[in-house]
Structure 1
Amino acid sequence: MLRSVSILLLTALAFQAQAKVDASQAARLEQDLTPLGGERAGNAAGTIPAWSGGLSTPPAGYQPGMHHPDPYVGDKPLYRVDGQNLAQYEQQLPVGLKALLQQNPSFYLRVFPTRRSAAAPQRIYDATRFNALNAELISGGNGVQGAAAGVPFPIAQNGQEAIWNHVMRYRGDQISMATNQAAVLANGSYNLLKLERDIYFVYGREGIAPQDLDNTLFHYKYKVVAPAKLAGSALVVQETLDQVLAIRKAWRFNRGERRVRRLPMLAYDTLQPDTNGMATADQVDAYNGAPDRYEWQLLGKREMLVPYNSYAVHQQGIPYADILQARHINPELLRYELHRVWVVEADLRTGFSHPYAKRRFYLDEDSWQILAVDLYDRSGALIGLQEAHPISYYDVPMFGSTLETIYDLKGGRYFADGLDNNEKMYDFNARLSPRDFTPQALRREGN
């Protein structure tokens, strides 16, 4: 028995030790790698340029509060991918995106020159260098220690480290925003749900140290403001870092009952409300929460056609009806580019249930943002595609999605979230504090 315990302890220690890299490896973040772990150099074909710092200053004419003007508005598409020439490009496409093109003759990709625009503040780069030397996976990979503010594992050694890089990437210190979401049925019909959302990030804050985190990643709150029949309902979430150690806490205010209730579970395969059954809790932000229900594999890096620099669909004043078409987003408003992405595969562990028995994630090498996800059921059939359409919020700077979609490839319907074209732009300087994310604050929100 003692020998078995010793073997388990040594295995755990070996598992944790592989997370850290030595000083010579960490030094690569200032040499051949970008500060967040991507390759600085372009590709041999010249179709992916070298990273030169990303887009960290606003273009001429930008004023705070504007929907971010497209800094690449003069770019012309290099080529178009559709059902007719799909075979020529299929090796560069996520499997789900290939299926979407095959099923919908009206959908196509406009492929533009590659612009490596992802950037973050210098303090995030400095913190990432610290994390490379100190961060460790704990609890069997279900938590992280020794990291704060920056990407925890810029030189990722396995799939768990890579997915934690997405979950813990920098997204600003706080955000206040109004966005719309819609479940678009196969016939093109939908109802918009407008939410006012606040996020207070703990992990990425300026001056944060590992010992200050108290197992907290961020605080999140939303309030439904339209349609009128749903207005007033609200939700608050206190997101833990290690969710196996302590699950996220969530409370919901129901307008009809006029009371706050603690939600017993808002994670994993719990369905998100008002998504017509198309979105599970762990699909928010492409993936969130504990990784313990999946086995994770890092399959390497590939050059893929993925959503990037999606400023066209972000612009102010576009009617939502012009974006939300039957069966897919309007392709004339989308931009795809060739980028190197990390491919991570997640297989559901025995004994757990989830609509997605397998997921294949494509993570941007320059930001660790998940850009696309192939979704498979228990029989191994491809059933869905998830995409994040990102921009560089150069006023922060921060790279993140402006629109997220989940396609039901069997039903011909999809869910879209993040529609903000006719709302005020995100406020990255909102005055928020942890006190705004309590059950008491939620009760005030609902009144």
Structure 2
Amino acid sequence: MLLAASPTTQAKIDPEVAAKLGNALTPVGAEKKANVSGSIPAWDGQVVETMDKEGFLKNPFQQDKPLYVVNSKNINQYSDVLTEGHKALIKAFPDSYKIPVYKTRRTTVYSTELYEKAKLDAVAAELANNGNGVVNFKGNVPFPVPANGLEVYWNHINRFKGGSMQWGSILAPVQTSGSYSLIKVQDKLVWPDYLLDSGGFNADNLLYFYTRKVTAPARMTGNVQLVREPLDHIKEARGAWVYNAGQRRVRRAPTIAYDGPAFASEGMRTSDNIDMFNGSPDRYNMKLLGKKEMLIPYNAYQVASRDLKYSDIIKKGHINQEYVRYELHRVWVVEATLKEGERHIYAKRVFYVDEDTWQIAHVDHYDERGNLWRVGEGYMAFFSKPMMSWYSLGTLYDLIARRYFVDWLMNEESKPIDFSRAARSRDFTPSSLRRSGR
């Protein structure tokens, strides 16, 4: 690995370095060329159609077969390209957990507008407040040529996710016995630029609005969460509210941050586990360990197939590994260590960020004794409309309790993600929660 320091502030990069964007580097900062062996191909910028007529994901690579499968018998052969979390999962479930590895396909492509903004941001964007915010940027990749771990983290936080999204999906806390309950939710995620009106919000320090409403089971129906996410959490704390249907009241929810229990997760993950890692980075020292070739979940279309039932995917111990796809990709590796005097149930996190998407693909979580505790995976999928990369599935495994949480299941849902839904500022106020949950 190429080691790099983690300064709290970072000067703008040299224009000569920024000039590599679109040439030696992709427009968002990944290496264009193939690796030495050719197992990671060169990026060609071609758009692959990944969505059917209804707007659901489809698998454009159905003809692909695994090149090889990593399991308990050959794990030592592939140790260099496995995370510690992968090794622990294979050890925990030696008879069932495996990693099917397919041909690497670099499918991520963004719009020309986003590429142009990335080039401008490369020479203008800066970290603010000791790395707890970003200023002087217009697009979704403020640091296409990162110099430290904080810049990599902010690229993940700011990456393009459609602008305005609304969808219904299933969450499932899975117990040690393999039993589980399905929690149905409706989510909205909207960036300020995609609102029909400004609503008087401070757009200079506003990243996005997010709501989650529980629609099943009956005991949880009507509970709603609202988050106004700032760009700089030191300048302005996250705004969070919850409507409790049983109490019929809206209350502020300051615990929806850091290691506070995540909404509708039955205590099986923290608030900052959502989207693999989110929120203010101020409790951690983030060290950039460099770039490395690793196996990560990628082009995960089969696991999103509408031919599958939720019971086909959710199994005892872990999801059904028959339907997942791993590929060899270059990733940025960042080690986040809890600062002295700060508190969090995760004393250390090591996360792996795909160079093409700036999306976290895998996170290893360690407890205060230094033991690997939880393993998170985000199963990347490219959405050809509106040209963005996100997750078709997410998992968080508890290696100690042998439980896990699975998120973003849509196989049996009747409607796809809606990227065209218009939103107004009044949809993201505390009073809107009461109307929504009623």
Q: Which amino acid aligns with 2:90?
A: L
| CA distance in structure 2 between the partners assigned to 1:28 and 1:275 by the alignment | 43
3-state SS of paired residue (1:171): coil
The within-5 A match list for 1:265-276 is 265-276=255-266
Q: Which residue of 2 aligns with 1:328?
A: 318
Does the alignment pair 1:295 with 2:260?
A: no
- 1:163-312 alignment, distance < 5 Å: 163-202=153-192, 213-312=203-302
Measured after TM superposition, the shift of residue 53 of structure 1 is 0.8
- Asked if the contact 1:319/1:421 (under 8 Å) is kept, the reply is yes
1:65-89, Cα deviation, whole Å (9 max, x unpaired): 3321111111111000000000000
Aligned length: 427
Q: In the alignment, what sits opposite 2:425?
A: 434
Question: Is residue 79 of structure 1 aligned with residue 72 of structure 2?
Answer: no
Q: Secondary structure at the match of 1:214?
A: helix
Partner of 1:126: 116
Q: Classify 1:106/1:257 alpha carbon distance in 2 versus 1 (closer, same or farther; 3 Å).
A: same
What residue number does 2:330 align with?
340
The 3-state SS of whatever aligns with 2:322 is helix
For 2:142 and 2:171, how far apart are their aligned partners in 1? 31
User: In terms of mean alpha carbon deviation, does 253-262 or 339-348 score higher?
Assistant: 253-262
Rounded to whole Å, the distance in 2 between the matches of 1:169 and 1:35 is 13
User: CA–CA distance in 2 between the matches of 1:346 and 1:264?
Assistant: 23
* Of 134-143 and 349-358, the range deviating more from structure 2: 349-358
> What SS does structure 2 have at the residue aligned with 1:97?
helix
1:89 aligns with 2:78: yes
Distance 1:264 1:299 in 2: 32
Residue of 51, 64, 69 corresponding to 2:58:
69
- SS across alignment from 2:28: coil
Match of 2:308 in 1: 318
Closer, same or farther: CA 317–48 of 1 in aligned 2, 3 Å:
same
Decide which moves more: 213-222 or 18-27: 18-27
Q: 1:141 aligns with which of 125, 128, 131?
A: 131
Q: Distance in 1 between matches of 2:72 and 2:194?
A: 42
Deviates more, 1:427-436 or 1:187-196: 427-436
Query: C-alpha separation between the residues in 1 aligned to 2:363 and 2:195?
Result: 28
Deviation at 1:203, TM superposition (A): 6.6
SS at match of 1:186: coil
Identical aligned residues as a percent = 43
Structure 2, unaligned runs of 5 or more: 1-6
Q: Distance in 2 between matches of 1:202 and 1:151?
A: 17
**Per-residue deviation, residues 387-445 of structure 1 (Å, max 9, x unmatched):** 00010001110011111111001111100110111111101111212221111111110
The answer to whether the Cα contact below 8 Å between 1:405 and 1:416 also exists between their aligned partners in 2 is yes
**Closer, same or farther: CA 198–15 of 1 in aligned 2, 3 Å:** closer
Q: SS at 2:401's partner residue?
A: coil
Q: 8 Å contact 1:203–1:218 — kept in the other structure?
A: no
Counterpart in the other structure of 1:28: 20
- 1:186-209 CA distance string (max 9 Å, x none): 110010100011111137899x9x
Among 22, 35, 42, the residue aligned to 2:34? 42
TM, length-normalised to structure 1: 0.92
User: SS where residue 194 of structure 1 aligns?
Assistant: strand
Q: 1:179 to 1:272 in 2, by over 3 A?
A: same
| Correspondence list, 1:148-159, <5 A | 148-159=138-149
Offset at 1:212? 8.0
Deviation of the 1:317 alpha carbon: 4.1
Matched AA of 1:94: T
Post-superposition offset of 1:352: 1.3
Find out whether 1:117 has 2:101 as its counterpart: no
Q: Distance in 2 between matches of 1:203 and 1:357?
A: 36
Matched, 1:444 2:426: no
Aligned residue runs from structure 1 range 392-403, under 5 A: 392-403=382-393
Return the alpha-carbon distance in structure 1 between the equivalents of residues 252 and 372 of structure 2. Answer: 35
Secondary structure at the aligned position of 1:354 is classed as: coil
The alignment's C-alpha RMSD in Å is 1.8
**Structure 1 residue 216, shift from structure 2 partner:** 0.3
Whether 1:53 aligns to 2:45 is yes
Q: Which of 352-361 and 151-160 deviates more?
A: 352-361
Alpha carbons of 1:344 and 1:414: their partners in 2 closer, same or farther (altered >3 Å)?
same
Segments of structure 1 that go 5 or more residues without pairing to the other structure are 1-13
**Residues 1:434 and 1:317: Cα distance change in structure 2 (over 3 Å):** farther
Distance 2:232 2:239 in 1: 12
Read off the aligned partner of 2:204 and give its amino acid letter.
D
Residues 195, 422 of structure 2: 8 Å contact kept:
no
Residue aligning to 2:4: none
- C-alpha distance after superposition, 1:241-272 (max 9, x if no partner): 10111111111111111111111331111011
Say if 1:324 and 1:330, in contact at 8 Å, map to a contact too. Answer: yes
Contact 1:57/1:395 (8 A) holds in 2: no
Equivalent-residue separation in structure 1 for 2:291 and 2:43 (angstroms): 16
Partner Cα distance (1:88, 1:23) in 2: 42
Q: Which runs of 4+ in 1 moved over 4 A?
A: 203-206
Amino acid at match of 1:45: S
Task: Say whether the 8 Å CA contact 2:164–2:194 is kept in structure 1.
Answer: no
